[in-house]
Structure 1
């Protein structure tokens, strides 16, 4: 049985991380899941949250705002809409993320004509962004929902 798997995390701007990992905890849209070596093949969408990666250097944390994770026999590839190592996160970055999510919610409310689907999705996105900030110890501006 393999002890490690290849872990790759990329965003549109850059390769964020690439190394051998023993486990990766993913903030999946349908719930948290942990991928380990020889995990069954799977593709899942991501929700905003913290990706935890266990490797030779201990546990590393990465902030993701959405995207996809592909788990295969060779390892796991995470394609994030936006991603930062936990040490790179700042209040300014979190505020920008939350402002973008709040704007998306505002536009969904305006365009929905009381159709709950898009409004609920946008509210969930905003809620996930605020919870992610709280989880890593940054406070949000607590936009009005």
Structure 2
């Protein structure tokens, strides 16, 4: 089967760099499946799970807290704000992150809409992390 190169980079390290058959990314507009030959684009990412498939192996799942993806017909580069393999997520750490994000959102109640929107994005990302950590 045809493949494309996928690179997943976080500020800490290069997490993934290999040919894959398919990737599903949490684009800001909704989950997006990517196959070889995809149209070129740059998309913003929301907090969610990147699922990587290829080589007849079980899907590899990584949580990202946001970022951007550059897509070309032969390559996808994901620049994640934060990325962690789903099986390494901690339920306790996710619960703490949700509480902190809820407090930040409440504190932003009287701020500018842009500040509230950023706080809401952080809260939704934290809730997604908690959901994924709970299912792992």
Could you tell me the TM-score, scaled by structure 1's length? 0.79
The alignment of Structure 1 onto Structure 2 pairs a total of residues equal to 134
- Partner of 1:8: helix, strand, or coil? strand
**How far, CA to CA, are the matches of 2:76 and 2:100 in structure 1?**
28
* Change beyond 3 A, Cα 1:107–1:14: farther
Which of 94, 116, 119 matches 1:119?
Answer: 116
Q: Once the 2 structures are TM-superposed, how far is the Cα of residue 99 of structure 1 from its aligned partner?
A: 4.4
Contact 2:91–2:133 (Cα < 8 Å) also in 1: no
Residues 37-85 of structure 1, C-alpha deviation per residue, up to 9 Å, x if partnerless? 0100011000001111111123110000000011113211110000011
Judging changes above 3 Å, is the alpha-carbon distance between structure 1 residues 15 and 47 closer, same or farther for their aligned structure 2 residues?
Answer: same
Is 2:11 the counterpart of 1:51? no
Deviation at 1:136?
A: 4.2
Q: CA deviation at 1:116?
A: 4.1
**TM score, norm. by length of structure 2:** 0.84
CA RMSD for the aligned pairs? Answer: 2.2
CA displacement at 1:4 relative to structure 2: 0.4
Find the counterpart in structure 1 of residue 71 from structure 2: 71
Secondary structure of 1:20's counterpart equals strand
Task: Determine the C-alpha separation between the residues in 2 that align with 1:103 and 1:45.
Answer: 25
Q: Which ranges in structure 1 are unaligned for 5 or more consecutive residues?
A: 139-145
Relative to structure 1, the CA distance from residue 93 to residue 16 in structure 2 (aligned partners, 3 Å threshold; closer, same or farther) is farther
What is the aligned partner in structure 2 of residue 142 from structure 1? Answer: none
SS at match of 1:109: coil
Moved more, 115-124 or 52-61: 115-124
Instruction: Judge conservation of contact 1:47–1:125 (CA < 8 Å) in 2.
Output: no
